[in-house]
Structure 1
Amino acid sequence: MTLASRLGPHLPATLLTLATDLLYPRFEPELRRLADFCPRGGTALDIGGWYGPWTRRMARRAARVITVEPVPHLARRLRRTAPPNTEVLQAAAGGHSGTATLWLPRDGRGDRGVSSLVRREVHHTALDVPCLPLDELGLTDVTLIKIDVDGGELGVLHGAEATVKREYPALFIELELRIQPLAPVLTLLSSLGYTGWVLPARDWVPLSAFDLTAHQRRTAHVAEHGLLRRSLAPHRRYVNSVLFLPRGHRPGQHT
């Protein structure tokens, strides 16, 4: 368990919100560049809300934010701290309606942000949660879908395929070779007319010009570091998120 996940549950909600919003853009610098792919207005979705750093930043730009977080106590905390234009749904986004098994670490809480519908070595505790295909929300004017679900990306995309085909939003997706092969998601999004972009340093780079697999293998040790350690040493970059835009679009083009 990382230091941040040990401390987080014991901090007052206001202090935890402040600390998360201060540190997370250093941990995930793409958040500082949100204006490059989240236009003003419309509806943005935060799939895998955790403590809410993306939710709160997205709420500054989008007219409406819908956050989907399956861990019950995290969803409750988000409801207390989210801006007024945000709706928090306690569910796991997936490819089918009904109930799904969410896997959590040994402590059974989910504060580490590694809960998933796909079980791996880190998981020990099972929790039944509602499963929600995003297409069932019937959303329009969707500008951005951010997906951080630790291995369940394909399920989220299959459950949102009608929305994606209709709205063609920006898709910001965490992809990690150590959790799942990258090819299935890349192949699906290519078939839907998307191209990928990454932010390894100051400038966005086409995914086609960046060997994400080789990079993640080379920097896998950094992925084991917690939020605090990686935030305080941002030069130790581990790229694990890809921005997908409709083919022909570039980051910052329509914001």
Structure 2
Amino acid sequence: MQSNDQTHGQNRQELTHLPVPSPKPPPKEPRFAALRAWWDTAWKEDGVLQNMWGDVLSAPDAGIRHMAPWIRAVLMVAGVSLAVLMAQAAGEVALEMLHQLLTAVPKVQVGADTSHGVFAVVDQPVRTYIAQHSAGLPVEGSTVYTLWLLTGIVGLVLGYLSRNNGVRAMWAAHGAATLWMVWTTTPDTSRPVAAGLTVLAWTFLSTFAMRGLTLRRRMVAERPANVSVRPEIHVHVPAPAAPADQHNGCPFKD
């Protein structure tokens, strides 16, 4: 007799409609796992960091010549960077001191008759020229006049002491600029005399600034050639003669 109990079938149908659980995702690797693995490998025997640490420890005993190349490169970069920073700081200090020196000079009455004698023939036209052409500059005329004086003094002194061609070129440019200012500012009636006195003064001072300068080509004394003499005796040894054929050139024996 068939049972009317369908509870088991209903439960089976209900189980077929239940959601299937999704598979669990794989566990995530801990953060920075690759970095930690590389770190552990680098500190092992013959690892990168292990070898570098050995180079650092052996650097004091090895010296500059025999230390690892990467340590020398690091030291070189650090030294160059330090030198650049020191040069920059020294340049800023020098520029600040120069600015204070130029701004602390007394107010020169540019364009006024403040000089006397023969020096006034050159000085007064220079003052007048600077006063006329320094109105739109960010510096005062007295500062420009002080720079003109300093340039001439530096060119004269360093040209006498160092005999450097660059310093002599600066001295020549200073003299040409001075002559141009005198020629431009002096009245027409006295312009040739003022220019002539300026050239004479510059020529006289050039005997000190251009000391040792010559247009002749320097001839270097001939030096004895450094020849090393090696006495050697060459004996000609003739090559041994070929043995005579015992069978008069016959390749076969009797």
- Report the TM-score range of the alignment, normalised by the length of the smaller protein: under 0.3
Normalising to structure 2: TM-score of the pair?
A: 0.22
Please identify which structure carries the higher helix content. 2
Normalising to structure 1: TM-score of the pair?
A: 0.22
Instruction: Answer with 1 or 2: which has the greater Rg.
Output: 2
Please identify which structure carries the higher strand content. 1
